[in-house]
Chains A and B, each alone.
Chain A
Amino acid sequence: MSGLRRRLMRLAMLALFLAIWEAAFRVGLLSPIIFASPSLIVSAAIKDGWTFLLAFRITVFEIAVAILIAWTLGIAFGVVAGSLPVLARISAPVLSALIAVPLVVLYPVLIAWLGLGPASKVVFGVVSGIFQIALNTMIGVREINRGYATMAAAMGANRRQIMFQVMAPLALPAIVSGLRLGTALIVIGVVLSEMLGSTDGIGFWISYHRALFNTGQVYLGILLALLIAGLANAALSLVERFYARRTVDQPVP
Protein backbone atom coordinates (compact mmCIF):
# COMPACT_ATOMS: atom_id res chain seq x y z
CA MET A 1 0.00 0.00 0.00
CA SER A 2 2.67 2.49 1.10
CA GLY A 3 4.74 1.36 -1.91
CA LEU A 4 1.98 2.39 -4.27
CA ARG A 5 1.55 5.69 -2.45
CA ARG A 6 5.26 6.40 -2.64
CA ARG A 7 5.21 5.69 -6.36
CA LEU A 8 2.25 8.03 -6.82
CA MET A 9 4.08 10.69 -4.81
CA ARG A 10 7.12 10.35 -7.04
CA LEU A 11 5.00 10.65 -10.18
CA ALA A 12 3.33 13.75 -8.75
CA MET A 13 6.73 15.29 -7.94
CA LEU A 14 7.93 14.59 -11.47
CA ALA A 15 4.77 16.11 -12.97
CA LEU A 16 5.17 19.18 -10.77
CA PHE A 17 8.82 19.52 -11.77
CA LEU A 18 7.94 19.27 -15.48
CA ALA A 19 5.10 21.76 -15.05
CA ILE A 20 7.38 24.32 -13.37
CA TRP A 21 10.01 23.71 -16.03
CA GLU A 22 7.44 24.26 -18.81
CA ALA A 23 5.93 27.27 -17.04
CA ALA A 24 9.33 28.93 -16.73
CA PHE A 25 9.46 29.04 -20.53
CA ARG A 26 5.87 30.16 -20.96
CA VAL A 27 6.39 33.21 -18.74
CA GLY A 28 9.73 33.91 -20.41
CA LEU A 29 11.99 33.13 -17.42
CA LEU A 30 14.15 30.74 -19.52
CA SER A 31 15.16 31.31 -23.12
CA PRO A 32 14.53 28.47 -25.60
CA ILE A 33 17.87 29.38 -27.23
CA ILE A 34 19.93 28.11 -24.29
CA PHE A 35 17.59 25.60 -22.69
CA ALA A 36 14.76 23.38 -23.97
CA SER A 37 11.32 23.07 -22.42
CA PRO A 38 9.72 19.62 -22.00
CA SER A 39 7.30 20.34 -24.83
CA LEU A 40 10.17 21.32 -27.12
CA ILE A 41 11.96 18.03 -26.38
CA VAL A 42 8.76 16.07 -26.97
CA SER A 43 8.06 17.76 -30.28
CA ALA A 44 11.71 17.19 -31.27
CA ALA A 45 11.27 13.50 -30.43
CA ILE A 46 8.11 13.34 -32.57
CA LYS A 47 9.76 15.10 -35.47
CA ASP A 48 13.25 13.51 -35.45
CA GLY A 49 12.72 10.49 -33.18
CA TRP A 50 13.50 7.93 -35.87
CA THR A 51 16.75 9.65 -36.86
CA PHE A 52 17.81 9.77 -33.22
CA LEU A 53 16.91 6.13 -32.69
CA LEU A 54 19.12 5.09 -35.61
CA ALA A 55 21.88 7.36 -34.30
CA PHE A 56 21.49 5.84 -30.85
CA ARG A 57 21.95 2.39 -32.34
CA ILE A 58 25.10 3.46 -34.16
CA THR A 59 26.63 5.08 -31.07
CA VAL A 60 25.82 2.10 -28.87
CA PHE A 61 27.36 -0.20 -31.47
CA GLU A 62 30.55 1.89 -31.70
CA ILE A 63 30.88 1.99 -27.91
CA ALA A 64 30.25 -1.75 -27.59
CA VAL A 65 32.97 -2.58 -30.14
CA ALA A 66 35.40 -0.12 -28.52
CA ILE A 67 34.71 -1.64 -25.08
CA LEU A 68 35.26 -5.15 -26.39
CA ILE A 69 38.61 -4.24 -27.93
CA ALA A 70 39.86 -2.01 -25.09
CA TRP A 71 38.90 -4.44 -22.33
CA THR A 72 40.46 -7.45 -24.06
CA LEU A 73 43.70 -5.81 -25.17
CA GLY A 74 44.03 -3.61 -22.08
CA ILE A 75 43.62 -6.49 -19.63
CA ALA A 76 45.84 -8.82 -21.68
CA PHE A 77 48.63 -6.26 -21.91
CA GLY A 78 48.31 -5.32 -18.24
CA VAL A 79 48.51 -8.93 -17.06
CA VAL A 80 51.55 -9.69 -19.21
CA ALA A 81 53.34 -6.43 -18.32
CA GLY A 82 52.52 -6.87 -14.64
CA SER A 83 54.12 -10.32 -14.69
CA LEU A 84 57.33 -9.20 -16.41
CA PRO A 85 59.23 -6.66 -14.29
CA VAL A 86 61.23 -5.28 -17.23
CA LEU A 87 58.14 -4.62 -19.35
CA ALA A 88 56.37 -3.11 -16.33
CA ARG A 89 59.22 -0.69 -15.66
CA ILE A 90 59.19 0.50 -19.26
CA SER A 91 55.44 0.74 -19.73
CA ALA A 92 54.38 2.31 -16.41
CA PRO A 93 55.64 5.84 -17.24
CA VAL A 94 54.53 5.52 -20.87
CA LEU A 95 50.99 4.53 -19.90
CA SER A 96 50.79 7.30 -17.27
CA ALA A 97 51.92 9.84 -19.87
CA LEU A 98 49.42 8.59 -22.46
CA ILE A 99 46.59 8.95 -19.91
CA ALA A 100 47.64 12.55 -19.19
CA VAL A 101 47.98 13.59 -22.87
CA PRO A 102 44.85 15.23 -24.41
CA LEU A 103 44.36 12.47 -26.95
CA VAL A 104 41.73 14.48 -28.77
CA VAL A 105 44.60 16.10 -30.71
CA LEU A 106 44.96 12.72 -32.44
CA TYR A 107 41.44 12.79 -33.74
CA PRO A 108 42.04 14.74 -36.98
CA VAL A 109 44.79 12.26 -37.81
CA LEU A 110 42.43 9.34 -37.17
CA ILE A 111 39.85 10.87 -39.54
CA ALA A 112 42.54 11.20 -42.20
CA TRP A 113 43.43 7.53 -41.78
CA LEU A 114 40.03 5.97 -41.23
CA GLY A 115 37.50 8.43 -42.62
CA LEU A 116 34.37 9.88 -41.03
CA GLY A 117 32.65 6.52 -40.50
CA PRO A 118 32.37 4.39 -37.36
CA ALA A 119 35.97 3.05 -37.63
CA SER A 120 37.56 6.31 -36.50
CA LYS A 121 35.07 6.56 -33.59
CA VAL A 122 35.80 3.03 -32.44
CA VAL A 123 39.56 3.57 -32.59
CA PHE A 124 39.31 6.89 -30.76
CA GLY A 125 37.12 5.24 -28.11
CA VAL A 126 39.67 2.46 -27.69
CA VAL A 127 42.66 4.80 -27.30
CA SER A 128 40.64 6.92 -24.86
CA GLY A 129 40.13 4.07 -22.42
CA ILE A 130 42.69 1.34 -23.03
CA PHE A 131 45.67 2.95 -21.27
CA GLN A 132 43.79 3.39 -18.01
CA ILE A 133 42.64 -0.24 -18.13
CA ALA A 134 46.15 -1.52 -18.95
CA LEU A 135 47.80 0.59 -16.21
CA ASN A 136 45.36 -0.45 -13.48
CA THR A 137 45.62 -4.12 -14.47
CA MET A 138 49.41 -3.96 -14.52
CA ILE A 139 49.61 -2.34 -11.08
CA GLY A 140 47.07 -4.82 -9.72
CA VAL A 141 49.02 -7.83 -10.99
CA ARG A 142 52.34 -6.42 -9.77
CA GLU A 143 51.01 -6.08 -6.25
CA ILE A 144 50.08 -9.76 -5.98
CA ASN A 145 52.54 -11.65 -3.80
CA ARG A 146 55.01 -13.59 -5.95
CA GLY A 147 54.51 -16.57 -3.64
CA TYR A 148 51.40 -17.46 -5.65
CA ALA A 149 53.43 -17.54 -8.88
CA THR A 150 56.17 -19.67 -7.27
CA MET A 151 53.59 -22.09 -5.93
CA ALA A 152 51.86 -22.36 -9.31
CA ALA A 153 55.20 -22.92 -11.05
CA ALA A 154 56.03 -25.70 -8.59
CA MET A 155 52.68 -27.30 -9.47
CA GLY A 156 53.66 -27.30 -13.13
CA ALA A 157 51.78 -24.24 -14.36
CA ASN A 158 53.29 -22.65 -17.46
CA ARG A 159 53.74 -18.89 -17.85
CA ARG A 160 50.38 -18.31 -19.51
CA GLN A 161 48.58 -20.36 -16.88
CA ILE A 162 50.30 -18.46 -14.07
CA MET A 163 49.33 -15.13 -15.64
CA PHE A 164 45.72 -15.85 -16.56
CA GLN A 165 44.61 -18.55 -14.11
CA VAL A 166 46.40 -17.28 -11.00
CA MET A 167 47.61 -13.68 -11.17
CA ALA A 168 44.76 -12.11 -13.20
CA PRO A 169 41.94 -13.45 -10.99
CA LEU A 170 43.88 -12.37 -7.89
CA ALA A 171 44.16 -8.87 -9.38
CA LEU A 172 40.44 -8.63 -10.22
CA PRO A 173 39.57 -5.83 -7.77
CA ALA A 174 42.20 -3.57 -9.36
CA ILE A 175 41.19 -4.65 -12.88
CA VAL A 176 37.53 -3.84 -12.27
CA SER A 177 38.38 -0.36 -10.96
CA GLY A 178 40.43 0.17 -14.13
CA LEU A 179 37.45 -0.95 -16.23
CA ARG A 180 35.24 1.60 -14.43
CA LEU A 181 37.54 4.50 -15.27
CA GLY A 182 38.39 3.23 -18.75
CA THR A 183 34.81 2.56 -19.80
CA ALA A 184 33.72 6.08 -18.83
CA LEU A 185 36.59 7.42 -20.97
CA ILE A 186 35.51 5.21 -23.90
CA VAL A 187 31.93 6.55 -23.79
CA ILE A 188 33.25 10.13 -23.67
CA GLY A 189 35.71 9.41 -26.48
CA VAL A 190 33.11 7.97 -28.86
CA VAL A 191 30.49 10.69 -28.31
CA LEU A 192 33.12 13.43 -28.48
CA SER A 193 34.55 12.09 -31.74
CA GLU A 194 31.05 12.03 -33.24
CA MET A 195 30.65 15.69 -32.33
CA LEU A 196 34.01 16.64 -33.84
CA GLY A 197 33.65 15.02 -37.23
CA SER A 198 31.27 12.35 -38.44
CA THR A 199 28.15 11.67 -40.45
CA ASP A 200 25.95 9.99 -37.85
CA GLY A 201 25.58 9.07 -34.19
CA ILE A 202 24.20 10.86 -31.15
CA GLY A 203 27.18 13.22 -30.93
CA PHE A 204 26.81 14.17 -34.59
CA TRP A 205 23.13 15.07 -34.24
CA ILE A 206 23.75 17.07 -31.08
CA SER A 207 26.29 19.33 -32.80
CA TYR A 208 24.20 19.43 -36.02
CA HIS A 209 21.12 20.73 -34.24
CA ARG A 210 23.21 22.99 -32.01
CA ALA A 211 24.37 24.74 -35.17
CA LEU A 212 20.73 25.21 -36.26
CA PHE A 213 19.60 26.34 -32.78
CA ASN A 214 17.16 23.41 -32.56
CA THR A 215 17.39 23.38 -28.79
CA GLY A 216 14.76 20.62 -28.41
CA GLN A 217 16.76 18.21 -30.58
CA VAL A 218 20.00 19.10 -28.77
CA TYR A 219 18.52 18.20 -25.40
CA LEU A 220 16.94 15.05 -26.79
CA GLY A 221 20.45 14.03 -27.88
CA ILE A 222 21.89 14.89 -24.46
CA LEU A 223 19.25 12.72 -22.77
CA LEU A 224 20.12 9.81 -25.06
CA ALA A 225 23.85 10.27 -24.37
CA LEU A 226 23.10 10.12 -20.64
CA LEU A 227 21.11 6.94 -21.25
CA ILE A 228 24.15 5.38 -22.98
CA ALA A 229 26.41 6.26 -20.05
CA GLY A 230 23.83 4.67 -17.75
CA LEU A 231 23.77 1.50 -19.87
CA ALA A 232 27.57 1.23 -19.83
CA ASN A 233 27.55 1.63 -16.07
CA ALA A 234 24.88 -1.06 -15.69
CA ALA A 235 26.90 -3.47 -17.85
CA LEU A 236 29.92 -2.86 -15.64
CA SER A 237 27.94 -3.50 -12.47
CA LEU A 238 26.87 -6.84 -13.95
CA VAL A 239 30.51 -7.79 -14.56
CA GLU A 240 31.39 -6.67 -11.04
CA ARG A 241 28.61 -8.72 -9.48
CA PHE A 242 29.52 -11.78 -11.57
CA TYR A 243 33.12 -11.68 -10.35
CA ALA A 244 32.39 -10.63 -6.77
CA ARG A 245 31.13 -14.17 -6.23
CA ARG A 246 34.40 -15.71 -7.30
CA THR A 247 36.94 -13.20 -6.09
CA VAL A 248 38.86 -12.67 -2.90
CA ASP A 249 36.49 -11.96 -0.03
CA GLN A 250 34.13 -14.88 0.38
CA PRO A 251 31.57 -14.28 3.12
CA VAL A 252 31.84 -16.52 6.16
CA PRO A 253 28.46 -18.16 6.72
Chain B
Amino acid sequence: MIAVEAVGKTYGSGEHALAALVDVSFAVREGEFVTLVGPSGCGKSTLLQILAGLVPASTGRVLINGRPVTGPSPDTIGVMFQDAWLLPWKTAVENVEFPLALRKVSAAERRKRALPLIDLVGLASFAHRYPDELSGGMRQRVAIARCLVQEPRVLLMDEPFAALDEQTRTRMGSELLQIWEKSGGTVVFVTHGLTEAIYLADTVFVMGTRPGRIIERITVPLPRPRTIDMIGSEAFGRLRNDIWHLIAEVRT
Protein backbone atom coordinates (compact mmCIF):
# COMPACT_ATOMS: atom_id res chain seq x y z
CA MET B 1 0.00 0.00 0.00
CA ILE B 2 1.13 3.52 -0.81
CA ALA B 3 0.25 6.44 1.43
CA VAL B 4 1.12 9.96 0.30
CA GLU B 5 0.82 12.36 3.22
CA ALA B 6 0.77 16.13 2.62
CA VAL B 7 3.65 16.01 0.16
CA GLY B 8 4.95 19.32 -1.14
CA LYS B 9 7.89 20.16 -3.37
CA THR B 10 9.46 23.59 -3.75
CA TYR B 11 12.35 24.36 -6.07
CA GLY B 12 14.67 27.22 -5.18
CA SER B 13 14.17 29.52 -2.22
CA GLY B 14 13.26 33.09 -1.32
CA GLU B 15 11.42 35.12 -3.94
CA HIS B 16 12.49 32.73 -6.71
CA ALA B 17 10.91 29.77 -4.95
CA LEU B 18 8.71 27.72 -7.24
CA ALA B 19 6.04 25.50 -5.73
CA ALA B 20 5.87 22.40 -7.93
CA LEU B 21 3.57 20.45 -5.61
CA VAL B 22 1.40 21.59 -2.72
CA ASP B 23 -0.24 19.41 -0.07
CA VAL B 24 -0.68 16.23 -2.10
CA SER B 25 -2.32 13.40 -0.18
CA PHE B 26 -3.78 10.15 -1.43
CA ALA B 27 -3.67 6.43 -0.84
CA VAL B 28 -3.23 3.51 -3.22
CA ARG B 29 -4.47 0.04 -2.30
CA GLU B 30 -2.36 -3.06 -2.70
CA GLY B 31 -2.88 -4.33 -6.26
CA GLU B 32 -4.58 -1.15 -7.46
CA PHE B 33 -3.86 0.42 -10.86
CA VAL B 34 -3.74 4.20 -10.43
CA THR B 35 -3.15 6.82 -13.08
CA LEU B 36 -2.08 10.40 -12.46
CA VAL B 37 -3.31 12.65 -15.24
CA GLY B 38 -2.92 16.37 -15.73
CA PRO B 39 -1.59 19.11 -17.96
CA SER B 40 2.14 19.57 -18.40
CA GLY B 41 3.67 21.42 -15.47
CA CYS B 42 1.27 19.97 -12.89
CA GLY B 43 4.14 18.17 -11.17
CA LYS B 44 2.98 14.63 -11.93
CA SER B 45 6.46 13.50 -12.92
CA THR B 46 7.94 15.16 -9.84
CA LEU B 47 5.38 13.36 -7.69
CA LEU B 48 6.35 10.03 -9.26
CA GLN B 49 10.04 10.71 -8.65
CA ILE B 50 9.25 11.45 -5.01
CA LEU B 51 7.36 8.15 -4.77
CA ALA B 52 10.38 6.41 -6.32
CA GLY B 53 12.74 7.98 -3.80
CA LEU B 54 14.72 9.66 -6.58
CA VAL B 55 13.82 13.19 -5.44
CA PRO B 56 13.22 14.15 -1.80
CA ALA B 57 9.94 15.83 -0.88
CA SER B 58 10.21 19.32 0.63
CA THR B 59 7.36 18.65 3.04
CA GLY B 60 5.24 15.64 4.00
CA ARG B 61 6.17 12.02 3.44
CA VAL B 62 5.47 8.90 1.42
CA LEU B 63 4.90 5.51 3.03
CA ILE B 64 5.14 2.30 1.06
CA ASN B 65 3.92 -0.71 3.01
CA GLY B 66 4.19 1.39 6.12
CA ARG B 67 7.83 2.33 5.60
CA PRO B 68 8.79 5.92 4.71
CA VAL B 69 10.53 6.32 1.36
CA THR B 70 14.02 7.76 1.80
CA GLY B 71 15.76 6.59 -1.38
CA PRO B 72 15.41 4.15 -4.26
CA SER B 73 14.42 0.66 -3.15
CA PRO B 74 14.59 -1.46 -6.31
CA ASP B 75 13.45 -4.67 -4.59
CA THR B 76 10.09 -3.01 -3.75
CA ILE B 77 9.71 -0.40 -6.47
CA GLY B 78 10.32 -0.67 -10.22
CA VAL B 79 10.51 2.60 -12.16
CA MET B 80 9.98 3.23 -15.86
CA PHE B 81 10.48 6.45 -17.79
CA GLN B 82 9.50 7.82 -21.17
CA ASP B 83 12.84 6.63 -22.50
CA ALA B 84 14.04 3.09 -21.74
CA TRP B 85 17.66 4.26 -21.19
CA LEU B 86 18.94 0.86 -22.29
CA LEU B 87 22.70 0.48 -22.19
CA PRO B 88 23.68 0.45 -25.87
CA TRP B 89 26.54 -2.05 -25.53
CA LYS B 90 24.32 -4.67 -23.90
CA THR B 91 21.81 -6.91 -25.68
CA ALA B 92 18.13 -6.91 -24.70
CA VAL B 93 18.55 -9.81 -22.28
CA GLU B 94 21.76 -8.34 -20.82
CA ASN B 95 19.91 -5.09 -20.17
CA VAL B 96 17.19 -7.03 -18.33
CA GLU B 97 19.93 -8.70 -16.28
CA PHE B 98 21.63 -5.42 -15.43
CA PRO B 99 19.78 -4.69 -12.13
CA LEU B 100 20.72 -8.20 -10.97
CA ALA B 101 24.33 -7.70 -12.09
CA LEU B 102 24.46 -4.57 -9.93
CA ARG B 103 23.67 -6.80 -6.98
CA LYS B 104 26.26 -9.43 -7.95
CA VAL B 105 23.78 -12.16 -8.84
CA SER B 106 25.64 -14.93 -10.69
CA ALA B 107 25.56 -14.94 -14.50
CA ALA B 108 23.68 -18.23 -14.74
CA GLU B 109 21.05 -17.14 -12.22
CA ARG B 110 20.62 -13.81 -14.01
CA ARG B 111 20.00 -15.49 -17.36
CA LYS B 112 17.56 -17.91 -15.74
CA ARG B 113 15.48 -15.05 -14.37
CA ALA B 114 15.76 -12.69 -17.36
CA LEU B 115 14.83 -15.01 -20.23
CA PRO B 116 11.26 -15.82 -19.06
CA LEU B 117 10.61 -12.08 -18.74
CA ILE B 118 11.92 -11.43 -22.25
CA ASP B 119 9.40 -14.10 -23.28
CA LEU B 120 6.64 -12.46 -21.24
CA VAL B 121 7.05 -9.14 -23.06
CA GLY B 122 7.07 -10.92 -26.41
CA LEU B 123 10.71 -10.42 -27.36
CA ALA B 124 11.90 -14.05 -27.35
CA SER B 125 13.38 -13.76 -30.85
CA PHE B 126 15.05 -10.43 -30.05
CA ALA B 127 16.74 -11.43 -26.78
CA HIS B 128 20.24 -11.10 -28.23
CA ARG B 129 19.69 -7.93 -30.26
CA TYR B 130 21.23 -4.60 -29.30
CA PRO B 131 19.00 -1.61 -28.40
CA ASP B 132 19.64 0.22 -31.68
CA GLU B 133 18.28 -2.81 -33.54
CA LEU B 134 14.97 -2.55 -31.65
CA SER B 135 11.98 -0.28 -32.26
CA GLY B 136 10.82 2.24 -29.65
CA GLY B 137 8.03 -0.10 -28.53
CA MET B 138 10.44 -3.03 -28.23
CA ARG B 139 12.82 -0.94 -26.15
CA GLN B 140 10.03 -0.11 -23.71
CA ARG B 141 9.16 -3.82 -23.55
CA VAL B 142 12.76 -4.48 -22.53
CA ALA B 143 12.37 -1.74 -19.89
CA ILE B 144 9.22 -3.45 -18.56
CA ALA B 145 11.07 -6.76 -18.33
CA ARG B 146 13.96 -5.01 -16.60
CA CYS B 147 11.53 -3.59 -14.02
CA LEU B 148 9.93 -6.98 -13.42
CA VAL B 149 13.23 -8.87 -13.02
CA GLN B 150 13.58 -7.35 -9.55
CA GLU B 151 10.10 -8.65 -8.68
CA PRO B 152 8.90 -5.32 -7.30
CA ARG B 153 5.48 -5.02 -5.68
CA VAL B 154 5.03 -1.48 -6.93
CA LEU B 155 5.54 -0.25 -10.50
CA LEU B 156 5.96 3.50 -11.01
CA MET B 157 5.65 4.51 -14.65
CA ASP B 158 6.33 8.03 -15.91
CA GLU B 159 4.64 8.42 -19.30
CA PRO B 160 6.29 5.19 -20.47
CA PHE B 161 4.44 5.06 -23.79
CA ALA B 162 4.28 8.79 -24.56
CA ALA B 163 6.98 8.62 -27.23
CA LEU B 164 5.28 5.78 -29.12
CA ASP B 165 2.78 6.03 -31.96
CA GLU B 166 -0.88 5.66 -31.08
CA GLN B 167 -1.41 2.04 -32.17
CA THR B 168 1.72 0.88 -30.37
CA ARG B 169 0.73 2.88 -27.31
CA THR B 170 -2.70 1.24 -27.12
CA ARG B 171 -1.26 -2.23 -27.68
CA MET B 172 1.43 -1.69 -25.03
CA GLY B 173 -1.29 -0.53 -22.62
CA SER B 174 -3.29 -3.72 -23.17
CA GLU B 175 -0.20 -5.87 -22.70
CA LEU B 176 0.72 -3.99 -19.55
CA LEU B 177 -2.76 -4.73 -18.17
CA GLN B 178 -2.32 -8.43 -18.95
CA ILE B 179 1.04 -8.52 -17.22
CA TRP B 180 -0.37 -6.61 -14.25
CA GLU B 181 -3.36 -8.94 -13.94
CA LYS B 182 -0.96 -11.90 -13.90
CA SER B 183 1.56 -10.46 -11.44
CA GLY B 184 -0.87 -8.57 -9.22
CA GLY B 185 1.36 -5.67 -8.25
CA THR B 186 0.43 -2.07 -7.55
CA VAL B 187 0.89 0.38 -10.43
CA VAL B 188 1.10 4.18 -10.40
CA PHE B 189 1.10 5.40 -13.98
CA VAL B 190 1.66 9.02 -15.01
CA THR B 191 0.25 10.20 -18.33
CA HIS B 192 -1.16 13.27 -20.02
CA GLY B 193 -3.41 11.14 -22.22
CA LEU B 194 -6.98 11.01 -20.87
CA THR B 195 -7.93 7.91 -22.88
CA GLU B 196 -4.90 6.03 -21.63
CA ALA B 197 -5.54 7.22 -18.06
CA ILE B 198 -9.10 5.89 -18.03
CA TYR B 199 -8.47 2.74 -20.03
CA LEU B 200 -5.76 1.48 -17.68
CA ALA B 201 -6.90 2.62 -14.26
CA ASP B 202 -9.04 1.55 -11.33
CA THR B 203 -8.64 5.08 -10.01
CA VAL B 204 -7.69 8.27 -11.85
CA PHE B 205 -6.19 11.16 -9.91
CA VAL B 206 -6.68 14.38 -11.83
CA MET B 207 -4.03 16.99 -11.18
CA GLY B 208 -4.10 20.75 -11.60
CA THR B 209 -1.31 23.15 -12.24
CA ARG B 210 0.24 26.24 -10.61
CA PRO B 211 0.76 24.97 -8.03
CA GLY B 212 0.67 21.24 -8.77
CA ARG B 213 -2.00 19.51 -6.73
CA ILE B 214 -4.66 16.80 -6.90
CA ILE B 215 -8.05 18.23 -7.81
CA GLU B 216 -10.16 15.10 -8.14
CA ARG B 217 -10.20 11.37 -7.47
CA ILE B 218 -12.26 9.39 -9.96
CA THR B 219 -13.13 5.70 -9.72
CA VAL B 220 -13.38 4.09 -13.13
CA PRO B 221 -16.56 1.95 -13.21
CA LEU B 222 -15.51 -0.15 -16.21
CA PRO B 223 -15.23 -3.92 -15.59
CA ARG B 224 -12.04 -5.95 -16.02
CA PRO B 225 -10.52 -7.24 -18.15
CA ARG B 226 -10.61 -4.07 -20.18
CA THR B 227 -11.05 -4.29 -23.94
CA ILE B 228 -10.19 -1.81 -26.68
CA ASP B 229 -13.92 -1.62 -27.55
CA MET B 230 -14.67 -0.03 -24.17
CA ILE B 231 -12.84 3.09 -25.33
CA GLY B 232 -15.70 3.70 -27.79
CA SER B 233 -18.47 3.18 -25.21
CA GLU B 234 -20.73 5.96 -23.97
CA ALA B 235 -19.68 5.55 -20.34
CA PHE B 236 -16.03 5.91 -21.35
CA GLY B 237 -16.79 9.02 -23.39
CA ARG B 238 -18.71 10.64 -20.54
CA LEU B 239 -15.88 9.97 -18.10
CA ARG B 240 -13.35 11.36 -20.54
CA ASN B 241 -15.48 14.46 -20.98
CA ASP B 242 -15.81 14.97 -17.20
CA ILE B 243 -12.05 14.83 -16.72
CA TRP B 244 -11.49 17.13 -19.65
CA HIS B 245 -13.79 19.72 -18.06
CA LEU B 246 -12.08 19.38 -14.69
CA ILE B 247 -8.71 20.14 -16.22
CA ALA B 248 -10.04 22.93 -18.45
CA GLU B 249 -11.94 24.68 -15.63
CA VAL B 250 -8.98 24.73 -13.30
CA ARG B 251 -6.84 26.21 -16.00
CA THR B 252 -9.08 29.19 -16.84
Q: Which of A153, A169, A246, A250 contacts B72 (CB 8 A)?
A: A153
Once the chains are docked, how many angstroms separate the CA of A153 from the CA of B54? 8
Cα–Cα, bound, A153→B52 (Å): 10
Instruction: Judge if A237 is at the interface, Cβ distance under 8 Å.
Output: no
- Please name all residues of chain A whose beta carbon is closer than 8 Å to the beta carbon of B72 when the two chains form the complex: 153-156
* Residue A12 is within 8 A (CB to CB) of chain B in the complex: no
For residue B91, which residue of chain A has the nearest CB? Answer: A250
0/1 interface trace, chain A 146-176, chain B, CB 8 Å (1 if under)? 0110111111110001000110011000000
- A249-B133 Cα distance, complex, nearest whole Å: 10
Residue of A nearest to B49 (CB): A150
Size of interface on A: residues with Cβ below 8 Å to B: 23
Q: Is A252 an interface residue (CB 8 A)?
A: yes
Question: When chains A and B are docked, how far (Å) is the Cα of A166 from the Cα of B75?
Answer: 20
Q: Contact: A252 with B99, CB < 8 Å?
A: no
B52 touches A154 (CB 8 A): yes
Query: Is A72 close to B, CB under 8 A?
Result: no
Q: Nearest chain A CB to B107's CB is how many angstroms away? A: 15
Query: Is A31 interfacial (CB-CB < 8 Å)?
Result: no
- Across the interface, B132 reaches (CB within 8 A) one of A157, A165, A166, A252, namely A252
Secondary structure call for the B interface: loop
Asked if A150 and B54 make an inter-chain contact with CB atoms under 8 angstroms apart, the answer reads yes
Given A147-B81, A147-B85, A246-B89, A154-B74 contact (CB < 8 Å): yes
Residues of B with C-beta under 8 A to A94: none
Complex CA–CA separation, A170 to B86 (angstroms): 11
Q: Is B87 in contact with A169, judged by CB distance below 8 angstroms?
A: yes
B77: A residues at CB distance < 8 A: 154
Would you call A250 and B85 a contact (CB within 8 A)? no
Q: Could you tell me the distance between the alpha carbons of A41 and B75 in the complex, rounded to whole angstroms? A: 70
Q: Which residues of A contact B89 (CB under 8 A)?
A: 169, 246-248, 250
User: How far apart are the CA atoms of A166 and B79 in the complex, in Å?
Assistant: 17
Inside 8 A of B132's CB, which chain A residues have their CB?
249-250, 252
8 Å CB interface, A179-203 against B: none
Q: Are B85 and A151 in contact (CB-based, < 8 A)?
A: yes
B126 interface residue, CB < 8 Å from A? no
Are A147 and B98 in touch, CB under 8 angstroms? Answer: no
A residues 95-148 near B (Cβ < 8 Å) are 145, 147-148
Q: A147-B85, A166-B87 are in contact. Are A250 and B130 (CB under 8 A)?
A: yes
Chain B residues with CB under 8 Å of A145's CB are: 85
Binding site for B on A (CB under 8 A): 145, 147-148, 150-157, 161, 165-166, 169-170, 246-250, 252-253
B residues engaging A (CB < 8 A)? 52, 54, 72-75, 77-79, 81, 83, 85, 87-89, 98-99, 102-103, 130, 132-133, 146, 150
Instruction: Give 8 closest A-B pairs by Cβ, nearest first.
Output: A156-B74, A154-B79, A151-B85, A250-B130, A155-B99, A246-B89, A248-B88, A148-B85
Supply 27 A–B pairs (Cβ within 8 Å), ascending by A: A147-B81, A148-B87, A150-B85, A151-B81, A152-B102, A154-B52, A154-B72, A154-B74, A155-B72, A155-B74, A155-B98, A155-B99, A155-B146, A155-B150, A156-B72, A156-B99, A156-B102, A156-B103, A157-B102, A165-B102, A166-B87, A169-B87, A170-B88, A247-B89, A249-B132, A250-B133, A253-B133
